[in-house]
Each structure stands twice: as structure tokens, then as C-alpha cells.
């Protein structure tokens, strides 16, 4: 069993419920038979929340920078306990169930109190949150980060302070809840769940469904460059290159339709666009790794181990040479004829495309090398 537990309650204008939550939290600690404290993180409340929290026996700190994540980060930092229980100050979570989270935490590093697996009062969670928002974010976490949970947005969670502090969480808004899961999963921490009860909020919600929902989605997308950049970019590049291979020399009939020069031109555009998106994906992966937002995954490990500036330049030069040789083979006769009508349009498109790809590879190699130098300098 844990020696000391800190219950962290982020608070913004919750004078109607803060005392109730503090008293419940102390009772929950007593019921779980653990020593602990209640730490209220006041996020610049304009009502009596700060004074009421003090009078109820909580330790209270103020955080000027607004945002749920900002309050949580300071609460975790200032917590005296080896374990932190994070909850809301609006009376929706039953802190008498703290013991359930702590029991589950004996076998995990992070435990979510799942509202969807517990008892939820009628009307406690808006319809769109319950059946669209939360399930959609759960799906993104499962697809992009291999994290399978039923209630990723639960504000009632317990974790080992040292392990979560080691994740170096950064987001300051509501997306903090998702970042904690993502980075815990990337670090290989065991994430558990246990059903908890959820009550109707007594005061108006401060959540903005569209704004906060988008912030979660944006975070999950930005730090999953494989799905945001590499997958769509790879598909575009593959489709474009297939078109280039088959259409650069002759017209092709498929499913009763003829594909000619115009289709070849579109294929060239797709190949160039796809390659650019792929490179943006690699830039995003390296940048997020350098800034500490993500940890080094398998793909990035391979890229770092295999990639060398000289190799990138060589590949780029080979692409350029192929394009130049094809171009010269068809363009020299055209020049000798006095620049008349260009009959070799297909090979010309092929040549130009490969020269552009070669130049992109060379300059992309320099940029990735610069990022690599920055990492070496930090190390």
C-alpha cells in the first residue's frame, strides 16, 4: 500500500462545490486507509473558491497561467505524495471511490476512473460527449497509439508521481488528458481502468465541446505523423509512380478507358505531392522527438540509424541523373531539329519529374542532417 497520497483538484470558480469535494476527498483517503493531503490548484478564480478551500483544510496554491493542463502540471509538481489522484472540483466524481483507483494502481502506473464502465447518473454526460466525442477520441488513441481504454477523457485518475513526472508533459489545455495517455503509452507504462460513478454537475460546465474537442483531435493528429503525413503521402507517391511507370512510354487502356498524356501529367503531380508530404512526415517525427513531445519509435530509430547526409545526396543525384539522361536522349534530337513540335512529351514529363524528385531528396537530406546535428549538440 502507498505511504502518502495527494489528491489534486484543479479549480476555477467552483465555490458551490469545492468544499464538498475537499471533504469527500479526505473521507475517500480515510476510507482507503492511506495518509494524504488535498491540494487545490486555483486557476485564478474570481469567486470565493480560494478562501473556501483553505477553510476546508486543503493546501491551496495559485496558478496564474490559465488552462486545465497548466493547473494539473503545477499540482503534480507541488504534490507531496508518491501517488497523485487527479479529480475535478465540480462534484461530478465520487471521491469516496479513491480506494478503487489505488487498489488498481498496485499493478499499474496510471489508472483511469472510467465513467462508461461505472454508474453514470442520467444526464451527467451530454449525449454528444458520451456517444460521439469520447468514443471518437478513444478510437484515435487506439488506431494511432495502440492505447485501448473506454474513457480516455476521464478527469478522475490516479498515477505514480515519479513515473508521470518523467513524461515531461507540456500541453496546458484540456488536451492534457490525452497527452498523459499518449506519452504514458509511448513510454511503455501500464495503463489500467476501473469503473467509477459519475454525477450531474451542479454548476454550468466550462467545457467548450467544439474548441476543446478540436484541441484533443489536433494534438492526437499532430503527434501521429505516420497517419497524418506518411500514410497519405505514401499512397499518393505510390499511385503517382505507378502512373509514371506505365504511362511514360505509351497510352494504356484499363477497364475500357484510355489513359494518355494528361493522366501521366496528373501522375507526375501526385508523385511530387506525395513525396513532399512524406518528407513533411519525417520532419514532423524528428522535430517532435527533438522537442520531447514524442519518444523515439521504431521508424524513427531506423531513420536515425540508416540516414546519412552523403547517402541522401547520392540518392538524389541518381534520381537527377536518370531524369537528365532520359531527357537528353529525347531532347537532343528535338534541339537539332530546331525546336519544332515536341513529340516526346511523355519522356519529357518523366525526366522533369525525376529531376525535381532528385533535387527534393538532396535538400531534404540537408535539412534532416541539420536536425540531426541539433540532436547531437543537445546530447
Query: The cell 524513427 sits on which residue?
Result: 300
Q: Which domains does the chain have, with CATH numbers?
A: 4-222 (3.90.550.10), 225-378 (no CATH)
Distance CA 356, CA 346 (A): 16
Residues 6+ away with beta carbon under 8 Å from 378: 290
Query: The cell 488498481 sits on which residue?
Result: 104
The helix/strand/coil state of 114 is: strand
Position 117 confidence tier, pLDDT thresholds 50, 70, 90:
very high
Spatial CA neighbour of 105 closest among 119, 91, 86:
86
Residue 101 sits at φ, ψ, to 5 deg, of -70, -40
Distance of CA 16 to the CA centre of its chain: 35
Higher pLDDT, residue 217 or 170: 170
Strand ranges (DSSP E) for 219-364? 252-254, 257-259
Report pTM. 0.73
Residues 6+ away with beta carbon under 8 Å from 247: 259, 260, 261, 263, 264, 267, 346
Q: pLDDT tens, 160-199? A: 999 999 888 988 888 899 999 998 998 899 999 999 999 9
Half-sphere exposure of 216 (CA within 13 A, CB side): 24
Highest mean pLDDT among 213-217, 285-289, 299-303, 312-316: 312-316
Residues 6+ away with beta carbon under 8 Å from 40: 9, 11, 18, 22, 49, 50, 53, 58, 59, 60, 61, 89
81: number of Cβ within 10 Å:
21
266: number of Cβ within 10 Å:
15
- Percentage of the chain exceeding pLDDT 90: 52
Burial call 330-361: b when 16+ CB within 10 Å, e when fewer: bbeeeeeeeeeeeebebbbbbbebbbbbbebb
Amino acid at each position: 500500500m502507498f505511504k502518502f497520497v495527494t489528491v489534486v483538484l484543479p479549480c476555477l470558480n467552483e465555490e458551490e462545490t469545492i468544499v464538498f469535494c475537499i471533504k469527500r476527498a479526505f473521507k475517500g483517503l480515510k476510507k482507503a486507509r492511506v495518509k494524504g493531503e488535498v491540494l487545490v490548484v486555483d486557476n485564478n478564480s474570481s469567486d470565493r473558491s480560494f478562501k473556501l478551500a483553505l477553510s476546508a483544510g486543503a493546501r491551496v496554491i495559485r496558478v496564474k497561467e490559465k488552462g486545465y493542463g497548466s493547473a494539473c502540471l503545477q499540482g503534480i509538481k507541488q504534490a507531496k505524495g508518491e501517488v497523485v489522484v487527479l479529480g475535478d472540483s465540480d462534484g461530478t466524481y465520487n471521491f469516496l471511490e479513491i480506494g478503487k483507483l489505488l487498489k488498481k494502481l498496485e499493478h499499474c502506473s496510471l489508472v483511469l476512473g472510467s465513467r462508461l464502465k461505472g454508474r453514470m447518473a442520467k444526464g451527467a454526460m451530454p449525449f454528444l460527449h458520451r456517444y460521439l466525442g469520447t468514443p471518437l477520441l478513444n478510437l484515435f488513441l487506439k488506431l494511432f497509439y495502440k492505447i485501448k481504454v473506454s474513457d480516455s477523457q476521464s478527469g478522475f485518475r490516479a498515477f505514480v508521481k515519479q513515473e508521470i513526472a518523467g513524461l515531461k508533459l507540456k500541453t496546458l489545455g484540456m488536451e492534457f488528458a490525452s497527452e498523459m495517455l499518449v506519452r504514458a503509452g509511448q513510454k511503455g507504462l501500464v495503463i489500467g481502468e476501473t469503473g467509477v460513478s459519475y454525477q450531474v454537475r451542479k454548476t454550468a460546465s466550462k467545457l467548450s465541446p467544439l474548441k476543446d474537442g478540436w484541441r484533443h483531435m489536433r494534438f492526437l493528429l499532430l503527434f501521429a505523423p505516420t497517419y497524418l503525413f506518411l500514410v497519405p503521402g505514401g499512397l499518393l507517391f505510390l499511385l503517382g509512380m505507378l502512373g509514371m511507370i506505365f504511362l511514360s512510354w505509351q497510352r494504356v487502356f484499363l477497364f475500357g478507358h484510355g489513359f494518355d498524356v494528361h493522366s501521366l501529367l496528373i501522375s507526375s503531380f501526385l508523385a511530387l505531392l506525395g513525396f513532399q508530404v512524406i518528407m513533411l512526415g519525417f520532419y514532423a517525427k524528428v522535430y517532435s522527438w527533438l522537442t520531447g513531445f514524442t519518444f523515439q519509435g521504431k521508424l524513427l530509430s531506423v531513420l536515425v540509424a540508416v540516414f546519412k547526409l552523403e547517402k541522401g545526396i547520392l540518392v538524389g543525384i541518381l534520381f537527377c541523373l536518370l531524369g537528365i539522361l532520359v531527357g537528353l536522349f529525347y531532347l537532343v534530337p528535338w534541339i537539332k531539329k530546331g525546336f519544332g513540335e515536341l513529340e516526346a512529351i511523355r519522356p519529357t514529363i518523366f525526366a522533369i519529374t525525376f529531376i525535381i524528385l532528385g533535387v527534393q531528396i538532396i535538400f531534404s537530406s540537408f535539412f534532416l542532417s541539420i536536425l540531426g546535428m541539433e540532436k547531437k549538440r543537445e546530447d
